Amino acid sequence: MPAIPCALIRGGTSRGAYFQAEDLPEDPAGRDALLARIMGGPDALQVDGIGGGHPLTSKVAVIAPPTRQPADVDYLFLQVDPARQTVSDAQNCGNLLAGVGVFAIERGLVPARDGETTVCVHMVNTGALCRLVLRTPDRRLEVAGDTAIDGVPGTAAPIVCNYLDIAGSSCGALLPTGHAVDEIDGVAVTCVDNGMPVVVLRAADLGLEGAESPEALDGDEPLKERLESIRLQAGPRMRLGDVAAQSVPKMCLVSPPRRGGLVTTRTFIPHVCHRSIGVLGAVSTATACLLPEAPAASLADAPDGNPKALDVEHPSGSFQVRMRLGPDGSVTEAGVVRTARLLFSGTAIA
Ligand code: NQM
């Protein structure tokens, strides 16, 4: 009965189990089988494990010494699908990423400095880097603060996440099909990867208003079939191959903003509708809204100025992405603010 040191951390609007690679089997198949068992499946509720019965609470972060300069730690993200019990490393998670800073400091992997501590994270899934800045007065991690993020109750200390090189993270190019607009099953879509592979399409093109509740969308089987058909065709075009068993690309339905932001979103990740929106999913979607020919641009309300603060509206509020554009209109910098909290530290029993 293996007992493995583990921390449960809320990272942004997700919750995950964090492990050090040295505590897990080296071979990926053995590691994944063990993690699937710990999270508890195959069972949509994950009642026999520590997963939360939803893709957003069935996530794992594996932390290891850095293999890329100038990173402080390596972070491998694994998505455990509760019902199917598959374990996928095909995507990043920008929410658990915020918790990596907490884990690294709490475990002493990165020494806290007086004031602020920067933790540079190598996101092993895609090879990209992110610089996290955490508050550490007196070399202690500050937990309390006044930063609120929609989708999480209360407030906490901010964690600034500055992505260094995320364009084409999984697909090799920002626009992996070579176009800002493609047509799949008669619907105009943008296949984009600015940190997360996402197919962005107008809700109206599928007969939706775009502000339906996640519950209503989850219950709309014909819609989900249409989205899956588009997704399965988009996968190979996005250089992701057969994506039937993959958690990417995500499917983001966009419509005009309702609350003065950039755009309204409803995102399937990819078979369940997100209660808010993923971090890198939001960065990719915001990017699609800035491409003049993209279907999303026709309904987005992008502010002037550079850098831009882009409020991506989602079912539980909005999510601010900060972007700087180069002279040719390409995104040269992207960043977000998240919060994270250590919830539990102990041993997981497999
Ligand atoms: O897009 C959900 C989440 C995510 C991933 C998903 C994420 C991101 O909300 O960077 O954070 O899209 O599967 O945690």
pLDDT tens figures, 55-72:
999 999 999 999 999 999
- pLDDT tens digits for range 291-323: 999 999 999 999 999 989 999 999 999 999 999
**Measuring from atom 1 of ligand 1, which residue has the nearest CA?**
278
CA of 279 relative to ligand 1 center, distance in Å:
6
Integer Cα distance of 267 and 336 in angstroms: 18
What ligand 1 atom has the least distance to the C-alpha of 14? 14
Q: Which of 7, 12, 155, 158 is nearest to 96 (CA)?
A: 12
> Between β-strands 115-123 and 187-193, what pairing exists: parallel, antiparallel or unpaired?
unpaired
**Mean predicted confidence (pLDDT) in 230-247:** 96
**Measuring from atom 3 of ligand 1, which residue has the nearest CA?**
278
What ligand 1 atom has the least distance to the C-alpha of 92? 10
Q: Which of 131, 132, 143, 166 is nearest to 9 (CA)?
A: 143
Beta strands in 124-203 (DSSP E): 128-136, 159-163, 182-184, 187-193, 197-202
**Mean predicted confidence (pLDDT) in 33-50:** 94
pLDDT of residue 247: 92
Domains for the chain: give ranges and CATH numbers: 3-166+339-349 (3.10.310.10), 182-325 (3.10.310.10)
pLDDT of residue 108: 97
**In this prediction, what percent of the chain has a pLDDT beyond 70?**
100
What ligand 1 atom has the least distance to the C-alpha of 79? 13
The amino acid at residue 55 is P
What ligand 1 atom has the least distance to the C-alpha of 284? 1
pTM check: above 0.95: no
What ligand 1 atom has the least distance to the C-alpha of 267? 12
Band (42; pLDDT cuts 50, 70, 90): confident
What ligand 1 atom has the least distance to the C-alpha of 250? 12
The residue assigned the tokens 């493609």 is 182
CA of 217 relative to ligand 1 center, distance in Å:
18
Max distance between CA atoms of the chain, in angstroms, equals 58
CA of 277 relative to ligand 1 center, distance in Å:
7
Integer Cα distance of 210 and 217 in angstroms: 10
Integer Cα distance of 98 and 284 in angstroms: 18
Band (83; pLDDT cuts 50, 70, 90): confident
Ligand 1: residue of 95, 130, 198, 336 to mutate (most ligand atoms within 8 A of CB) is 95
CB 265 within 8 A of CB 312: yes
**Measuring from atom 2 of ligand 1, which residue has the nearest CA?**
278
What ligand 1 atom has the least distance to the C-alpha of 282? 1
pLDDT of residue 207: 98
Binding-site residues, ligand 1, Cβ < 6 A: 13-14, 55-56, 92-95, 196, 250, 269, 278-281
Ligand 1: residue of 14, 248, 253 to mutate (most ligand atoms within 8 A of CB) is 14
CA of 203 relative to ligand 1 center, distance in Å:
20
Band (195; pLDDT cuts 50, 70, 90): very high
CA of 348 relative to ligand 1 center, distance in Å:
24
CA of 14 relative to ligand 1 center, distance in Å:
8
- pLDDT tens digits for range 93-128: 999 999 999 999 999 999 999 999 999 999 999 999
Q: Which helix (H) or strand (E) holds 69?
A: none
CA of 138 relative to ligand 1 center, distance in Å:
32
